[in-house]
């Protein structure tokens, strides 16, 4: 909590100079609860007429002010004020080294600031102010735990982090391995240059078709998607007569030779004999999708 005290002291020998400094305010910090070694900061705001400048040599110099008080730092800034003058802000940081035996009021000393304008000068006095310094020990300790006014610091304890560290490394490795596996399956970086998987793409599209009502058009699309996967895998149009050469070049599909042959037979019945109903009875849409899923698994090395 800041208490605001306002004081204006202008010492000038000539009448025109009396108007040079308009106001001086001290913004104090809290006035109590300071111990030896604490920093104390206050702020002084001075408003002067336009053209009036602060004489830097009049500022208090950082360093010891007495045996128990040191001015650690002072910062100054100047900005235009709303009434056409100049607003100076001084921020002072003190450090107290007083160790009282009981709460004791101490004084921050005042000082004078000089302001110049042309050949005239004026002085503004920053008044002293007081704060309450508190002891860090009692002269006669009262009844308390262990009969001590100040308790000792909590001693540091050894904490073995090897188990936690190994757990973090293990979790990180598992997360990285999971991402790489998923990225490889989805062709995410760094596996974007992986060869395409026609049967996997066809299985994904067939899964979408299963959400619609299965009729002749949908069934025809399903067979067409599977045919396109065979063509893309071998880089040419694959017909029933090309099945042996296809399987010779792609041994991973050999275990499904009978299902593939049945598919091509049903496809001939569908597209060349125009027997859609018979083809659907002999090989259902679900069987076509299941065959595509099996070929997709073999394509990915899972079969």
Q: Which residues pair with 86 in a beta bridge?
A: 48, 80
The pair of structure tokens assigned to 260 is: 């593939």
E strands, 139-273, are none
Question: Same domain, yes or no, for 126 and 239?
Answer: no
Residue 114 lies in a domain: yes
Q: Structurally, how many domains does the chain consist of?
A: 2
How sure is the predictor about 3, in pLDDT bands with cuts at 50, 70 and 90? very low
- Give residue 13's pLDDT: 34
Which of 99-103, 120-124, 152-156, 235-239 is predicted least confidently?
Answer: 152-156
Structural domain ending residue among the three candidates 136, 157, 183: 136
Does residue 65 have a pLDDT over 70? yes
Helix or strand run (H / E) with residue 91 = strand 86-96
Average pLDDT along the chain: 83
- Give residue 16's pLDDT: 46
Residue 153 lies in a domain: no
- What are the angstrom distances between the C-alpha of 254 and each of 149, 159, 201, 232? 87, 59, 20, 17
Question: Same domain, yes or no, for 124 and 224?
Answer: no
Q: Of 239, 220, 232, which Cα lies nearest the Cα of 283? A: 220
Q: For residue 96, what are the domain limits?
A: 3-136
Average pLDDT over residues 49-73: 93
Structural domain ending residue among the three candidates 111, 136, 161: 136
Does residue 230 have a pLDDT over 50? yes
How sure is the predictor about 69, in pLDDT bands with cuts at 50, 70 and 90? very high
Peptide bond into 99 cis (omega under 30): no
**Which DSSP string corresponds to 258-270?**
HHHHHHHHHHHHH
Q: What is the pLDDT of residues 259-301, one digit of tens each?
A: 999 999 988 888 888 888 888 888 888 888 899 999 988 888 7
Does residue 146 have a pLDDT over 60? no
Which of 140-144, 194-198, 258-262 is predicted least confidently?
Answer: 140-144
Question: Same domain, yes or no, for 121 and 226?
Answer: no
- Give residue 4's pLDDT: 40
Question: Same domain, yes or no, for 117 and 236?
Answer: no
Structural domain ending residue among the three candidates 105, 136, 167: 136
Does residue 143 have a pLDDT over 60? no
Average pLDDT over residues 217-246: 88
Residue 97 lies in a domain: yes
- CA–CA separation, 159 vs 169, rounded Å? 18
Query: What is the dihedral angle through the alpha carbons of 168, 169, 171, 176, rounded to the nearest 10 degrees?
Result: 140
CB-based contact 92:113 (threshold 8 Å): no
Residue 141 lies in a domain: no
How sure is the predictor about 184, in pLDDT bands with cuts at 50, 70 and 90? confident
Residues with Cβ within 8 Å of 45's Cβ and at least 6 positions away in sequence, in order, are 23, 24, 25, 27, 87, 88, 89, 90
Does residue 126 have a pLDDT over 90? yes
- Give residue 166's pLDDT: 85
Average pLDDT over residues 177-193: 76
CB-based contact 197:299 (threshold 8 Å): yes
> Which CATH number covers residue 25?
2.60.40
Does residue 159 have a pLDDT over 90? no
Residue 151 lies in a domain: no
């Amino acid at each position: 909590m800041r208490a605001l005290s306002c004081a204006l002291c202008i010492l000038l020998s000539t009448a025109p100079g009396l108007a040079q400094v308009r106001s001086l305010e001290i913004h104090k910090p809290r006035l109590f609860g300071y111990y030896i070694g604490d920093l104390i900061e206050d702020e002084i705001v001075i408003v002067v007429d336009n053209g009036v400048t602060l004489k830097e040599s009049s500022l208090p110099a950082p360093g010891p002010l007495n045996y128990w008080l040191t001015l650690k730092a002072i910062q100054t800034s100047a900005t235009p004020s709303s009434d056409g003058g100049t607003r100076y802000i001084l921020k002072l940081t003190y450090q107290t080294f007083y160790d009282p035996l009981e709460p004791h009021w101490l004084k921050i000393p005042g000082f004078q600031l000089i302001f110049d304008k042309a050949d005239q000068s004026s002085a503004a006095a920053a008044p002293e102010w007081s704060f309450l310094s508190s002891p860090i020990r009692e002269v006669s300790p009262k009844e308390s735990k262990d009969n001590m006014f100040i308790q000792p610091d909590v001693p540091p304890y050894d904490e073995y982090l090897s188990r936690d560290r190994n757990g973090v490394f293990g979790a990180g490795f598992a997360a990285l391995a999971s991402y790489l596996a998923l990225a490889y399956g989805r062709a995410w970086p760094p596996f974007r240059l992986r060869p395409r998987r026609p049967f996997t793409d066809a299985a994904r599209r067939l899964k979408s078709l299963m959400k619609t009502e299965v009729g002749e058009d949908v069934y025809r699309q399903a067979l067409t998607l599977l045919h396109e996967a065979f063509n893309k895998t071998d880089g040419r149009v694959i017909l029933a007569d090309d099945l042996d050469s296809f399987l010779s070049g792609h041994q991973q599909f050999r275990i499904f030779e009978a299902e593939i042959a049945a598919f091509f037979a049903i496809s001939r019945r569908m597209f060349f004999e125009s027997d859609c109903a018979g083809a659907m009875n002999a090989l259902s849409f679900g069987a076509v999708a299941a065959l595509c899923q099996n070929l997709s698994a073999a394509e990915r090395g899972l079969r």
